[in-house]
Amino acid sequence: MFGFGYALIPLYPVICNVLGINQVGVDGNPVNTQVDRARTVSVEFDSNVHNMPWKFRPLVSHLSVHPGEIAQVMFEVVNTTDVPVTGQAIPSYGPTSASAYFRKLDCFCFAKQTLAPGERRQMPVVFVVDPSLPLEIPNITLSYTFFEVEGNRRVEVPPSPGGA
């Protein structure tokens, strides 16, 4: 029995090839079958700050994407003050119904952002437009508004008059 098993070693790759099993590394380029290549959706980007001393903008104004494909866009933010400031970005979508079909995989809006004085930062948004997006929606607008998070700026306390 041992000799029979030993004799099968050189035949193992041939048997696997014929049966189509154990084909590790055969297809080096996997294809995402979820991507709808017959359709293109235009995604526009908008940025705003609400009463904050920051400059905030997308590095591209729009992207054309196929539903189901992973896409990335970069935003840039600059703290124009001489003190650290913390903000939180809130997304909104146009049309509103598109939000159910817009999946963010990574986004700066998931966490607060603290920028040092004068700091400039580029931040990614990685997303997928769901292939089930209705055909009546050929365009999506993704808009972010940064709001300052209260209590994050240091307030300088004047010295007391008594020198205490």
- Mean of pLDDT over the chain: 85
Please write the tens of the pLDDT for every residue from 32-71.
Answer: 568 899 999 999 999 999 999 999 999 999 999 999 999 9
Please list, in sequence order, all residues whose beta carbon lies within 8 angstroms of the beta carbon of residue 126, skipping any fewer than 6 positions away: 70, 71, 72, 104, 105, 106, 107
User: Averaged over 104-115, what is the pLDDT?
Assistant: 94
Instruction: Return d(Cα 161, Cα 164) in angstroms, integer.
Output: 8
- Which pLDDT does position 79 carry in this prediction? 97
In a domain, 154, yes or no: no
pLDDT at position 151 over 90: no
pLDDT at position 102 over 90: yes
**Number of domains comprising the chain:** 1
In this prediction the pTM is 0.72
131: containing domain? 41-148
For residue 69, the domain's CATH number is: 2.60.370.10
